Structure 1
Amino acid sequence: MVTPHPTPEQQIRAEAAAWLSRLQGQQTPELTKKAFRVWFDEDEAHRNAFEAATEIWDILPGAVLLETSSEPSERPRHRRTAALIALAAAILAMIGIGYAWLTPQSTVYATTVGRQETIVLSDGSRVDLNSDSQITMFYNNRERRLRLDRGEAMFDVRKDPRRPFTVLSGDERVRALGTTFVVRRLPRATVVTLTHGRVEIARAQGMRQVAMAVLSPGERASITQRAGLVIDRPPIDIVTAWRNGEVIFEDANLMDAAREMNRYAGSKSVVVDASVANLRISGIFGIDELEQFAIAAATLHQLRIERQGGEIRLVPPMRQPVANKASERRAG
């Protein structure tokens, strides 16, 4: 029987059955395991429901056959998948939940390089996506969960005490309630900046969620595997300038500034020679003003601009030749 409007308890049991079926695969993807650990640690009700589902799984004859088959590697993949789904459906039937809740629904939003987009979610919350960014959204009547797959996004969260709002970025989890904050996902780091409200940051470690920090408005948390957690207070207008189509630099490293401008460029990019990488630059530029940025940096530090294909290279000035003393005497 399908329940049109399941209670929170029913939905938790359905989620537990769905997770159990996914985890029975011989080669469960690591991402699936991490997602399960997040769900499992999130609430004691999740853990209790999963334990109950596991007990039911163990007494089902099909589960025993599935796990003790002498030649599992020779079984066609689709037959194993069908068996897992059938077993999960059996668990759901035993606990009174319909099959329709086995498959979570997700929605993906993405922007290309140089484009930005504002998304108003069904609960009234708003997400501003920066250039070359993507989020995957999982909403139900118990929680609001979004995953930042790449790039940067600003979240303006509508308060709903019954449904926590969580943003996942790699192993980091940012939990908010009536809050505005920015999350940026880098190759080896996650950066969270809070503008209003309160957020809690945790990290997945094995089967546990380890609390890392609770941010106050104006604080920025930078999380890396090597350095751990670093909290500072940057100028908020610099962090959020991209929402107005601008990039603001305040005594920034020239190499880092060029990389930031390149986030919004398509076929062109600014390349900074290593010998001048540590020069500093300040200023306000439009996200589409790559050329103007290069010219301003070259003018400020007397650099040369060289062009090669789509690259705008900033290199040191040419050295003036030293006059030969003998030549100077002859000239005199």
Structure 2
Amino acid sequence: MPPKPQTESLVEAQASAWVARMYAQPDDAVRAEFLAWHDADARHAGAYLRAEAAWILLDRAQVLTHGSGLAGREVAAQLKRRKAERTRRYVLGGAMAASVAGAAAVGVTLLGRVTLETGHGELRNVPLEDRSMAAVNTDSRIDVAMKDDMRHVDLVKGEAWFQVAKNPDAPFVVTAGDIRVRAVGTAFSVRRHDGGADVLVTEGVVEAWSIKDPSRRVTLTAGAEAFVPAQDAIQSTHHPEEVERKLAWRDRQVMLNSTALSEAVAEFNRYNDREIIIADPALRSAELVGGFQVDQPESFVRAVQVALDVPVSIGEDRIIIGTVSAAR
């Protein structure tokens, strides 16, 4: 029997995977394997060109695709490299951090407290008085108070990541409404929600709890993430690569790894005034792999158009996926 013809979606997924492999310094064996695939079906050449165009749109990012395990592994490998680079970068401490953030941070000092705030789409890396580092995400505010026996940060809104300078005599405590996160010398992030907070740990150990139910406190180690609710059991998981993916904003990136289109769109909308709208509900669950700059929604949408073969319309104040026109 002749081989069963490949579906178009399978061809596109294979093409996306091949782009990832060919941009990862392939050896002669991989090149030979690629040429054999390329010449095996007339559709492969066109699919590869479309996938390569999507790659170029990503601007140093990984291929955007759906259903490609290899592309997902490429993204995971990039996350590991990013983590190593970031560790080397922050170990230098306050001097370098000051050069990055000194003129950029929006801060107000009042009665021994420092307020740091970002607008929509802004991100700040700010050295603190104790030589800790705070990376403040978009539309966020932190109030910082440093004392000899306690270092306190009130996350009023939004999200921030902290690399805490070690000082056993002065615990570092982040407050997010009813939620408390305590560390001595470690690195972690807190994202505030109405009903609790997300906590992600990149180094060391932290303790997290709600003041409404302190008996349910948990200890989280590096690579762990948890949602800490105001009044319920705390659910935690240990996925270091997922933690790094969710914290890609520190490098002004959105990283996707089998991420639903709806989640990816929500992430871009955190940083951009021009809203992305998914017009076709059937597209919301499409899974994507790739990486983008947070301030490049058009590149993301163009790549979605290629990968999912859907119409998009780019207007002045909104971008629509799945319809022909963005006109009001």
1:117 aligns with 2:89: no
Query: How far apart in 2 are the matches of 1:272 and 1:307?
Result: 12
Q: Spell out, residue by residue over 1:67-105, the C-alpha distance to the aligned partner (whole angstroms, 9 max, x if none).
A: xxxxxxxxxxxxxxxxxxxxxxxxxxxxxxxxxxxx964
Letter in 1 for 2:223: G
Q: Which residue of 1 aligns with 2:277?
A: 271
Higher RCO (CA-CA < 8 Å; seq separation 6+): 2
Q: Which residue of 1 aligns with 2:223?
A: 218
Q: Which amino acid aligns with 1:146?
A: V
In 1: Cα distance, 2:214 partner to 2:244 partner: 32
Higher alpha-carbon Rg: 1
**Secondary structure of 2:306's aligned partner:** helix
Give me the whole-angstrom Cα distance separating, in 2, the residues matched to 1:167 and 1:298. 41
Q: Structure 2: any 5+ residue segments left out of the alignment?
A: 1-109
Aligned length: 213
- Whether contact under 8 Å (1:108, 1:137) holds in the other structure is yes
Contact kept? 2:178, 2:196, Cα under 8 Å: no
Superposed displacement of residue 225, structure 1: 5.0
Deviations along 1:299-324, whole A, 9 cap, x unmatched?
21121113455110112689xxxxxx
Instruction: Give the CA deviation at 1:211.
Output: 4.0
CA distance in 2, matches of 1:189, 1:272: 28
> After superposition, where does 1:68-217 map in structure 2 within 5 Å?
105-205=112-212, 209-217=214-222
Moved more, 228-237 or 268-277: 228-237
2:260 aligned partner, one-letter code: N
Distance (whole Å) between structure 2 residues aligned to residue 194 and residue 177 of structure 1:
13
Q: Which position in structure 2 is the counterpart of 1:306?
A: 313
Partners of 2:115 and 2:142 within 8 A in 1:
yes
User: TM-score with structure 1 length normalisation?
Assistant: 0.60
CA distance in 1: counterparts of 2:161 and 2:228, whole angstroms: 17
Length-normalised TM-score, structure 2: 0.61
| CA RMSD after TM alignment | 2.2
- Paired with 1:307 and 1:284, the residues of 2 have a C-alpha distance of 20
Q: 1:289 and 1:112, CA in 2 relative to 1: closer, same or farther beyond 3 A?
A: same
| Identity rate, percent | 27
Gap runs ≥5 in structure 1? 1-102, 319-332
* Contact 2:120–2:138 (8 Å) recurs in 1: yes
- Aligned residues of 2:216 and 2:233 also touching (Cα < 8 A): no
Alignment CA distance shift 1:204-1:225 (3 Å): closer
Q: Deviations 1:179-200 (Å, cap 9, x if unpaired)?
A: 1111112343411111111100
Name the CA distance, whole Å, in 1 between partners of 2:115 and 2:224. 29
